[in-house]
Structure 1
Amino acid sequence: MYIVTGGAGFIGANLVHALNQRGITDILVVDHLTQADKFLNLTDLEIADYMEAERFLEAIEKDQFSGVEAVFHEGACSDTMATDGRYVMENNYAFSKTLLHWCQRHHIPLLYASSASVYGMTGSFSEERQAESPLNIYGFSKFQFDQYLRRMWTTLEAPVHGFRYFNVYGPREFHKARMASVALHFYNQYRLDGHVHLFAGSAGYANGEQRRDFIHVDDVASVNMHFLDYPRSGIYNVGTGQAQSFNDVAVTVVNSMRRMADEDIHDLASLQKSQTIRYISMPEALHGKYQSFTQADIHQLRAAGYNQPFLSVEQGVARYIHWLAGRES
């Protein structure tokens, strides 16, 4: 049996999909379904069982599972604007520690979601302590668990892999609302209004030229499957290693939708001139907390043996838009 916590969520459901593609269906999905429509992420997938996170925690504390091949731990409060620190630390940090120790006792590989948010505003994105300075309680919860794991490296009884995901986008994120990727927001904006909104220039960047390391969720799933097959304990950045602008994402979204409608394709300048791409002021709540640039240092990921190419924004976002359009039809 394989366990996927957060398995009804964005990355978790895509990991279930990746396992299904390997013919694996003996999967226990663990999640919170207080947001009930997340079940839609699982309707086309094959799983053996579902369990609410609180019951799962009680079950592992009582050692009620056997025959577990691996645990993919994606479950977390992922809202970077969350203000209930006690809830975030209990859900993200304490839960993860309990699961880690259970996996170690039973010699079960653990593959878990860390986050690029641990880097904060340092401007450095390598898996080193001096680069880590989270800006919010979500980032701190992920950072603190990484730190806890680091103190255990020499005593591990089973492989543990922490993945610092950068800006992930792709299928099965509809439920994330404001925390969804900009690709999904741009798709919805253009479909409904015929234009998209990006942030105006900030931190020395021109309008829409703030840059992030955008990674398609298929690539994230591929990394997880690689380390399932070839364990090598460590904490790894999971990004493409190449930052691209929000303008790049917007142009790809708009032109992908235009192609499907047999309309003319336009470059950034034309889309700006026609007001198809518009710029708005950054909300006050994000001032001083907004990463205008991220780019994963993927040297350690490559050194650990993952050598597959990553989708560019132009490739990955176009693939995603076609998936979204097919879902709407």
Structure 2
Amino acid sequence: MIIITGGAGFIGSAMLWELNRSGEDNILIVDDLGSTADKKWQNLSGLSFADILPVDAFVRCLAEDKFNDCTAVIHMGAISATTETDADLLLDRNYFFSKNLAGYCMKKDIRLIYASSAATYGDGKAGYRDDEEKLHSLRPLNMYGFSKHLFDCWAKKNDVLKKSAGLKFFNVYGPNEYHKGEMTSVVFKAYNQIRENGVVNLFQSHHPDYLDGEQLRDFISVRDCTKIMTWLLENPEVTGLFNVGTGKARSFRDLVTATFSALDLDPAILYVPMPENLRDKYQYYTCADTDKLQKAGYSGSTTSLEDGIRDYVQNWLVTLTPHFDIGHNTHNH
């Protein structure tokens, strides 16, 4: 059995779909679905799995050692809001829960793949290399990034990274992110703004080195992420921290232009002031150094921003079935 924490979430449910496509459905989903208004449950409605447990019940079952048939844990469960202000809640879910789960996996010799984040790199002054020996030099800009960084450091200090794979996801976009509210990708937000009023709002730059719309990010399709995770499942000898990005930094203007293009429309962009509370926590540039993953043996390519957005918009967002669904295979990459 494979356990996916955060299995009803964005990347977790995408990974469930990926496993289903390969014929695997002996999977335990661990997640809290929240309000029906959030529609997070819809991420699971077209997918196949053995059972689902809320987080608190799962923690009790861990303590009672009820998962003797577990072969792998894909730990995507976390509070992923970079704007979350409850530091103790972030510590509880993103650090203490992760330590508990990692300890169980190490004791039972269970393959662990867990989600870290590019938010651990802070403003990028220390670079974007997934070098475990340089963890001490990173300074995250928000509590979310710090909670993920804390666990990376603990995993390194306690030799967990010698037996597991931690993934520093960069800016992920794609199907099944719809429940994330303000934390959805800029692609999804741009698509909805185009549909609603034909214009996309982007933050003005408040940095002298970047023009409006030229802030840069490493945007990666969730389907590229699940390919990397599948490879790591199949190669349990590969361990350590790894960046999950394309290795290419693209501008927000590029992204919005590609979204308009996928809808066969000319771009219309309005630049608006960035909220004061974000200005000192804003990353103007992120780009994954992907050498380490490639040297570990991963040879898969990543989708270009234009192709990834075209696929997301045309094969998912504009359709009547925008969620991952194993019942049909019409959405081809």
RMSD (CA atoms):
1.4
List aligned pairs for 1:109-188, cutoff 5 A: 109-123=111-125, 124-127=127-130, 128-129=134-135, 131-153=137-159, 159-188=163-192
CA–CA distance in 1 between the matches of 2:320 and 2:106? 41
- 2:227 matches 1:222: yes
Contact 2:124/2:286, CA 8 A, preserved across alignment: no
The 1:320/1:155 distance shift into structure 2, 3 A limit, reads closer
After superposition, give the CA deviation of every residue in 1:170-198 in whole Å (9 maximum; x if it has no partner): 00000001100000000000001111111
Task: Quote the residue 1:237 is aligned against.
Answer: 243
Task: Quote the residue 2:304 is aligned against.
Answer: 312
Contact 1:9/1:172, CA 8 A, preserved across alignment: yes
Task: Quote the residue 1:10 is aligned against.
Answer: 10
The 1:101/1:11 distance shift into structure 2, 3 A limit, reads same
CA–CA distance in 1 between the matches of 2:141 and 2:57? 31
- 2:111 matches 1:105: no
Give the C-alpha shift of residue 328 in structure 1. Answer: 6.7
Give the C-alpha shift of residue 296 in structure 1. Answer: 0.5
Query: Residue type of the partner of 1:52?
Result: P
Task: Quote the residue 1:30 is aligned against.
Answer: 30
After superposition, give the CA deviation of every residue in 1:76-134 in whole Å (9 maximum; x if it has no partner): 01111111111110011000000001111111000000000001013310123255111
List aligned pairs for 1:236-275, cutoff 5 A: 236-258=242-264, 266=266, 271=267
TM-score normalised to structure 1 length: 0.92
- The higher relative CO (CA closer than 8 Å, separation ≥ 6) is in 2
CA–CA distance in 1 between the matches of 2:188 and 2:161? 42
Q: Helix, strand or coil: the match of 2:310?
A: helix
Task: Quote the residue 2:327 is aligned against.
Answer: none
- 2:202 matches 1:198: yes
Query: Residue type of the partner of 1:64?
Result: K
CA–CA distance in 1 between the matches of 2:231 and 2:273? 41
Give the C-alpha shift of residue 297 in structure 1. Answer: 0.7
Contact 2:30/2:58, CA 8 A, preserved across alignment: yes
Give the C-alpha shift of residue 223 in structure 1. Answer: 0.7
After superposition, give the CA deviation of every residue in 1:129-165 in whole Å (9 maximum; x if it has no partner): 2551111111111001000110122895xx3100000
Divergent runs of 4+, >4 A: none
CA–CA distance in 1 between the matches of 2:96 and 2:246? 30
Query: Residue type of the partner of 2:269?
Result: I
CA–CA distance in 1 between the matches of 2:35 and 2:6? 12
List aligned pairs for 1:73-88, cutoff 5 A: 73-88=75-90
Give the C-alpha shift of residue 236 in structure 1. Answer: 0.4
- 2:318 matches 1:325: yes
The 1:328/1:72 distance shift into structure 2, 3 A limit, reads closer
Q: Helix, strand or coil: the match of 2:79?
A: coil
Give the C-alpha shift of residue 34 in structure 1. Answer: 1.6
Q: Helix, strand or coil: the match of 2:319?
A: helix
Q: Helix, strand or coil: the match of 1:326?
A: coil
CA–CA distance in 1 between the matches of 2:311 and 2:137? 33
Task: Quote the residue 1:302 is aligned against.
Answer: 294
Query: Residue type of the partner of 2:281?
Result: K
TM-score normalised to structure 2 length: 0.91
Task: Quote the residue 2:46 is aligned against.
Answer: 44
% identity of equivalent residues: 41
